Structures are given as C-alpha cells and as structure tokens.
Structure 1
Amino acid sequence: MNLSILAYGNHILKQKCSKIKENTSEIQKLITDMWDTMENANGCGLASPQIGKPLQLFVADSQIIYKNLDTEDQILYFGKDDKGIKETFINAKIIDRSEETWDDYEGCLSIPGLSQKIKRPWAITIEYLDHNFTKHTKMFTGLTARIVQHEYDHTLGILYTDHLKPLTKKMMESRLKKIINGNVAVGYPMKFL
C-alpha cells in the first residue's frame, strides 16, 4: 500500500524512535508498505517516522542508483565490490564511523525539491536486524553508507537540515516554510501541517 509521507515540520520527524520488540504480521505489512511508498516516490530510502510510525525501522536501496550510473561514477560513488544494497534495517545501531569523510548532495522525501551538501563518513559499520529479524553486522561505504546514515538519522529524530551550518539553513527558511504550509508540488502523497 502506498502511504502518505510526512512533510518537514511534523513533530514525529523530530522524535527518537522506539525499538521493535518482535516480528509480527503488522511489522511485515509495514515493511512492505514502506517499500511500496518509497518506490512510488522514486526514493532510495525511507524511514518509518516519515510515514508517521516512530519506530527504529528503515529501508534503503542503493542498487537502483548504482545501476543508473556509468562505470566511472560507479567507481567514484561506491566502494570496491559494492554494487549497492536493497535492505531493511530494524533496530539499527551504527557502531563505527570512518575518519575519512566526503561531501555530497542529499535530499529527502519529507523535504521535496531541496537538497544540500552534507559531510558524512565514507564508511560505517552498523548492527541491525533484517526483515526476517536475522542479526547482521556490516560495513558499508560510499553512497550506500550515505543513504544508510541518512535513514538511520531519521530514527534518531535528525533530518539532514540539522547537519547544515546556521547560515545555510537560514537561507533555506522561506522554502522550508512553503513545504510546511503545503505550497510545493510533489508526485507522491504527502501529509502537511
């Protein structure tokens, strides 16, 4: 089912999310609905607070980006032997971040039409449960790590705009207010204040 995505300004997007205690049919349906919602919005990641469920759950798809890049850009944006992921993350916790960082543009389905350069670690190690509630500890690099970090931040109540310098955020203020008020054209269902 294709769900509405909460727009910037909704208080749920700023909440720390709760752990998921058990694998239930409701959780499995939520995961399926999140994949449908993300794909309908042409996104590469979606966290459950973005659809109004403050749970430690997100989905990430960097394969779709990898497949659409030429070989030169694949090498630039993805680590060695990384062809992207299509994964569900439950109760995730980043346990290590590389000292090496890089800047790249990030957007967000909750903040349509805007993007900014954000500095993030090139590599992360993360513990999580997949959709079968199987535990993993994996290292991700490049664009895959960036997508995972962006969605992980959502489960902590952090938006990419929270990483911006105050002046940059101030310069975006009028456009952010338009999003809050629903004065933005999007090609997917959204809930505004």
Structure 2
Amino acid sequence: MVLPIVVYGDPVLRKVGVDIDKNYEGLDQLIKDMFETMYKAKGVGLAAPQVGKAIRLFIVDTEPFSEVDEEDDEEDAEFTPAQRKELKAFKKVFINARILNEEGVEWKFNEGCLSIPKIREDVSRMPDVEIEYYDEKFVKHVEKHNGVIARVIQHEYDHIDGKLFTDKISPFKRKMISGKLNDIANGKISADYKTKVYKPKR
C-alpha cells in the first residue's frame, strides 16, 4: 500500500526515533509499504518518520543512480560502470541503526528529500561511513560504505535522529528557502506523490 509522505512542518520529522524489536506490530507490512511508497515517489531512500512512525527504521535502494542518461556518452556519465553496478545492486533495510564512524574529506552533492518537495541544495558530508544495524530478519550487520551509497545512508540516518538535510546548509541558504519551507508546512505544495500536511489539533 502506498502511504502518504509526511512533509516539512510535521513534529514527527523532528523526533529521535526509538529502537524496535522483531515483534514490532506490522513490521513486515510496514517495510513492504515503505518500499512501495518510495518507488511510487521515485525516491532512493525513505525513513519511518517520513510515513509518521518515530522509529529507527529506514530503507535504501540506489538503483536509480545506476541509470545513465540517454543524452550522456559513457565517458560523460556521472559514475563509472563499476560504481553503477554497485548502485544497481544496493537495496537494504536498516533497523536500529547506529553510525559508528564517518571519515574522509567532506564533499558536496545536490540533495533533495521526499518530505521537502521541489527543494534541492548542495550538502556537504563525509564520504566514508561505518554503520551497525539489523536487517529485516533481525540479523546484525556492521558495514562500511562510501560515496553516494554512504551519502544516502547518512541522509536517511538523519531522519531517524530527527534531522533534515536543510539543517546542514548555511543560515543564508536556509533564509533564502524559508518562504518555500513555510509554504510546504502550510500545505501549499505540489508533489507527484501522496503527501500529508501536519494540522495541529485545536
């Protein structure tokens, strides 16, 4: 089932997610619904807070990054064939994740977020990440990733810590887009997928 994606302004996006166990009610269906929702919205990652659940769960599928634009020659493609192969195969569920280490020289990459429609900004992140997590079968993993895969993991990890990519841009840039962010929070948005705007209870 395609779920509505919670947008900027909803308090759930600012909550630090709580750990869950394998008995979390409806977990398998939630994971299935999150993948369906992410694909419908043409995303490469989705965190549980984005569908209204303040828990430490996110999913990633970087296959869209592996696709070469038809207008680009192989030599002009953003990623090498080896990188594209890795991106095409990377699909994972992360439960109760903890980033153990981030290192390297920060690099900029243009990021967007399904919870912040139609806004993109360059964000600096470290290129290498070491993460501990449980998969959907609650098998524990400790892995190292780099480049775009690391970036997507870091972006989604921020969500389960109550952070957004807009927190990582300069105060000047945030001021420049503040009007657009307010519009999103007030429901003045146009997205190609189902969204949910926060409405405070009176």
Question: Normalized against structure 1, the TM-score is what?
Answer: 0.93
* Residue pair 1:60, 1:87 contacting (<8 A) in 2 also: yes
Residue 127 of structure 1 aligns to a residue whose secondary structure is: strand
Letter in 2 for 1:86: K
* Residue pair 1:49, 1:155 contacting (<8 A) in 2 also: yes
Tell me what 2:26 maps to: 26
1:83 to 87, 91, 94: 87
Tell me what 1:45 maps to: 45
82-91 or 166-175, which deviates more: 82-91
Letter in 2 for 1:40: K
2:122 to 106, 117, 122: 117
2:173 to 168, 174, 181: 168
How far apart in 1 are the matches of 2:139 and 2:182?
A: 41
1:109–1:83 Cα change, 3 Å: closer
Tell me what 2:63 maps to: 63
* Residue pair 2:102, 2:130 contacting (<8 A) in 1 also: yes
Which consecutive residues of structure 2, in runs of 5 or more, have no partner in the other structure? none
| Deviations 1:70-108, CA, capped at 9 Å, x for gaps | 6542139949x7335111100011111112221011000
Cα distance, 1:25 vs structure 2: 5.8
* Residue pair 1:77, 1:143 contacting (<8 A) in 2 also: no
18-27 or 51-60, which deviates more: 18-27
Is the counterpart of residue 188 in structure 1 residue 193 in structure 2? yes
Residue 73 of structure 1 aligns to a residue whose secondary structure is: coil
Is the counterpart of residue 134 in structure 1 residue 139 in structure 2? yes
Cα distance, 1:23 vs structure 2: 4.2
Which consecutive residues of structure 1, in runs of 5 or more, have no partner in the other structure? none
* Residue pair 1:23, 1:133 contacting (<8 A) in 2 also: no
* Residue pair 1:49, 1:154 contacting (<8 A) in 2 also: yes
1:76–1:123 Cα change, 3 Å: farther
How far apart in 2 are the matches of 1:23 and 1:136?
A: 19
Question: Normalized against structure 2, the TM-score is what?
Answer: 0.89
Aligned length: 192
Cα distance, 1:164 vs structure 2: 1.3
Greater gyration radius = 2
Cα distance, 1:64 vs structure 2: 2.3
Residue 87 of structure 2 aligns to a residue whose secondary structure is: coil
How far apart in 1 are the matches of 2:95 and 2:39?
A: 19
1:154–1:62 Cα change, 3 Å: same
1:190–1:77 Cα change, 3 Å: farther
Tell me what 1:178 maps to: 183
RMSD: 1.9
